[in-house]
Amino acid sequence: MIDEQSAWDAFERRDRSADERFVVAVTTTRIYCRPSCPARRPRREHVRFYADAASAAERGYRSCLRCKPDEVARDKQAVAAALRLLEEAEETLRLEALASAVGYAPHHFQRLFTREVGVSPAAWQRARRLGEADRRLAEGASVTEAIYDAGYSAPSRFYEDARSLGLAPARPAKGGQGMVINWAVVDCQFGPLLIAATERGLCRVSFQEDAAALQRRYPAAELVENGEAPLIKAALAAIEDPALAAALPTDVSGTAFQQRVWAELRRIPPGETRSYLDIARAVGDANATRAVGTANGANPIAIIVPCHRVVRNDGSLGGYAGGLERKKDLLAAETKLAQGSLPLLS
């Protein structure tokens, strides 16, 4: 069953994440569209909602030539196929070869892949190599061994990839040696919140942690209590207005799969939720719901990377590192804000 008010709200917002959940039919023009269609919105009384394009077509509606809703499933299948090819590839795949393999023009597929996955094919492959290097470092390999085992031809390529993605995979393995981390604990309406950032981006946002917990994560780093640091102030602003969070840089390491999941979490609009299955499908593997849950739980940057917006496949809230009541409060506050209510931060 389609909740028509929620569907209309998504249609008004041009919510791209709703494109695979339903189509919008307009009685005056007899066409059906994606919820994200860029065309001018019709009046509410002229709109009908259907589960899929086939259902709308059965009722005499035709496909919109502007947003092409019939291509939604094809696009999803192409991205899923591309991700399988990337997972299986032993060497870097060029965009032209990848796009050709799934039947798309390179530039169009670049936009499509980036929209669905959150990063470009090239960035995805860089993240995968970095993730493999991280895994080898965690197993105790030297930096040089990890670099070559992950498939890099030279250390310089490894560090180029790390810089291009805003990551520093080797540093956590060294206990944060050489890092300067600004931090502060703030009191918001959801409880005490630790916010920590390097010069590259946010590295930790978590409830009920303090400087001692941060030092245990980065024993060799220099910790500086500084609530006036620009990134800490920016994070506070994003907690008050979640729409600002997606633009904030991060400085965290993770496997390629974790990076894909975290990127997908940042695409969930405030006031909405996704299931573990939704996220698994979005990253190209519908069977990976358990792995998605693990990556969700490993998220080091609460609220900014909104793992609280992920629920169980049956719609129940599931767990949350900050506590289930806090998850309820976060979702309720974001829903009110999305509807034009008061800001989140007290």
Cα–Cα distance measured from residue 31 to residue 342, given in angstroms and rounded to the nearest whole number:
38
Phi, psi of 186 (to 5 degrees): -115, 150
Residue 122 is given by DSSP the state H
Q: Are the CB atoms for 302 and 205 separated by under 8 Å? A: yes
64 is an active site residue: no
307 is an active site residue: yes
Cα–Cα distance measured from residue 212 to residue 196, given in angstroms and rounded to the nearest whole number:
12
64, 67, 203, 307: which is the annotated catalytic residue?
Answer: 307
Beta bridge partners, 301, equal 205
Helix segments in the chain, DSSP class H:
4-13, 53-58, 71-88, 95-102, 106-117, 121-138, 143-149, 155-164, 170-173, 211-217, 230-240, 256-265, 276-282, 289-297, 324-338
33, 37, 67, 203: which is the annotated catalytic residue?
Answer: 33
**How, if at all, do strands 180-188 and 191-197 pair?**
antiparallel
Half-sphere exposure of 187 (CA within 13 A, CB side): 0
Could you list the active site residues? Answer: 33, 307
